């Protein structure tokens, strides 16, 4: 990540956005260019700013993050979507990733996983929190298709 990476933060809980903002501020090449507190605003910011990465919560007022991600795909197809959520359901994570998102970080793991997750999705790879990864591995071993 040598060139400046433009990031939009989407979460209805301002203290969480503040945590993300401060985490990214400590990184020379990560620049927060916008924020949103709901799904509709997330789509608008994505369309206006065309960021490199969008950190997107699932539980948002109005349009939830999964619906918003589908809208973002339409207006900013080159933006990488990284879900950052309290939701630990493997089914929700799979649904979220089915939108074209490239990562899913559990908020309680974000202190040590957020920056590696951003690097991973920018490399075009998928990132899944370690606390969820075993569910995806079990599905793959059982012969289930993991999207």
Q: What mean pLDDT comes out for the span 53-63?
A: 97
How many CB atoms neighbour CB 118 within 10 A?
25
Kindly indicate the confidence band of residue 36, based on its pLDDT and cuts at 50, 70 and 90: very high
Q: Please tell me what DSSP assigns to residue 61.
A: S
pLDDT value for 23: 96
pLDDT value for 134: 73
Q: Helix, strand, or coil here: 75?
A: helix
Burial class (CB in 10 A: 0-12, 13-18, 19+), 125: exposed
How many angstroms separate the CA atoms of 84 and 7, rounded? Answer: 13
**Architecture in CATH for domain 5-141:** 3-Layer(aba) Sandwich (3.40)
Q: What are the sequence ranges of the domains in the chain?
A: 5-141
Looking at the chain, the whole-number percentage of residues with pLDDT higher than 90 is: 86
pLDDT value for 137: 56
pLDDT value for 98: 95
Q: What mean pLDDT comes out for the span 34-63?
A: 98
Residue with token string 């990031």: 7
pLDDT value for 1: 52
Q: What mean pLDDT comes out for the span 67-71?
A: 98
pLDDT value for 145: 39
∠ CA 78-80-82, nearest 5°, is: 160
């Amino acid at each position: 990540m040598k060139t400046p990476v433009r990031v939009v933060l989407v979460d209805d809980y301002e203290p969480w956005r503040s945590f993300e903002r401060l985490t990214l501020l400590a990184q020379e090449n990560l620049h927060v260019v916008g924020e949103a507190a709901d799904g509709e605003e997330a789509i608008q910011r994505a369309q206006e700013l065309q960021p490199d990465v969008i950190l997107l919560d699932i539980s948002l007022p109005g349009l939830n993050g999964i619906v918003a991600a589908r809208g973002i795909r339409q207006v900013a197809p080159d933006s990488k979507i990284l879900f950052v959520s309290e939701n630990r359901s493997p089914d929700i994570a799979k649904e979220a990733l089915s939108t074209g998102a490239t990562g899913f970080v559990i908020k309680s793991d974000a202190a040590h996983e957020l920056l590696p997750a951003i690097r991973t999705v920018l490399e075009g790879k998928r990132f899944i929190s370690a606390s969820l990864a075993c569910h995806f591995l079990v599905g793959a071993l059982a012969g289930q298709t993991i999207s």
